[in-house]
Homo-oligomer: A and B are copies of this chain.
């Protein structure tokens, strides 16, 4: 059946319209193999004229390989993931890698995450970049020997899975050191609980370590996912004597700042606040004290790793690269008040 509309045009239509065989048409379209210049041109023109759009499903099935890399992404409304997403895309474009993305809501259970994983694997992607904490090593490992898997943003312990990650320990320590240097000795640390955010836990634990090592008194507050969660506990701690609240993320920092404003607590006069991420547009105007996480570096390194894995075959050692960001000193943290 011939073409009534572009998407129904097959390579057969192109071939017969150009008066050649399917194989020749393939060669012309792919620009490979020996083919007469004139024939190729004719075929290309015919394809163009017919509006031929190659069916990549069929092509990849026949060729037994795929040219695209799958990206598993966590909810992009979080600025940190949104930026990571677009940086990954940019870098992939730059390097000529095709990316297809599927996302999984931040809240979604393991089942959904595995769903997304299977969708990508079902497409037989050539590689996998995983930018969500929701899927764990055990779920990834079985596929690691077939397709290179790079985790982006977070450390990975699985032996066959590569990782390019934020050095969150350092971030936590940098912030804690800053707070200590300002003179604080009673500090509340507000972070999502272990079940909520692994990243925040990493940061919070590092903060606590550094603070405690310096002899400061630390109150740990474990919150749920919504940034407003645990804020009242934090203010409680402040009333009980804490002079600083260290948040494990900038959205939480915003929530604390709001609450402080509403409660008439002067920042940084009576209360110092810190966050982590450094990605909020306008964060400078707010004077947020935070760490700017190295999104672009992580993205670039992740894509680079993927590309070399795709090219070079399996390495003996998994890639492991961590990146630390920079402290952004703002006006939300100062010396302890009163």
Q: How far, in whole Å, are A90 and B93 apart by their CA atoms in the complex?
A: 26
- The answer to whether B282 and A147 touch across the interface, beta carbons within 8 angstroms, is no
- The answer to the question of A281 belonging to the interface, with a C-beta cut-off of 8 Å to chain B, is yes
Tell me if A's interface is mostly helix, strand, loop or mixed.
Answer: helix
The size of the chain A interface, using a CB distance under 8 A, is: 58
Complex contacts, A286 vs chain B, CB 8 Å: 282, 285-286
- The answer to the question of A317 belonging to the interface, with a C-beta cut-off of 8 Å to chain B, is no
- The answer to the question of A2 belonging to the interface, with a C-beta cut-off of 8 Å to chain B, is no
Residue of B82, B119, B146, B257 near A285 (CB, 8 A) is B257
Complex contacts, A90 vs chain B, CB 8 Å: 75, 105
Complex contacts, A281 vs chain B, CB 8 Å: 79, 250-251, 254, 280
| CB nearest neighbor in B for A98 | B119
Chain A stretch 99-152: residues in CB contact (< 8 A) with chain B? 99-103, 105, 108, 112, 118-119, 121-124, 142-143, 145-147
Interface residues of A (CB under 8 A from B): 5-8, 51, 53-58, 60-61, 75-77, 79, 82-83, 85-87, 89-90, 93, 98-103, 105, 108, 112, 118-119, 121-124, 142-143, 145-147, 250-251, 254, 257-258, 261, 280-286
Given contacts A5-B146, A53-B118, A75-B90, 19 further A-B pairs with CB under 8 A are A6-B146, A7-B124, A7-B147, A53-B121, A56-B122, A56-B123, A76-B82, A76-B86, A93-B108, A98-B102, A99-B102, A100-B101, A100-B102, A101-B103, A254-B282, A258-B285, A280-B282, A282-B286, A285-B286
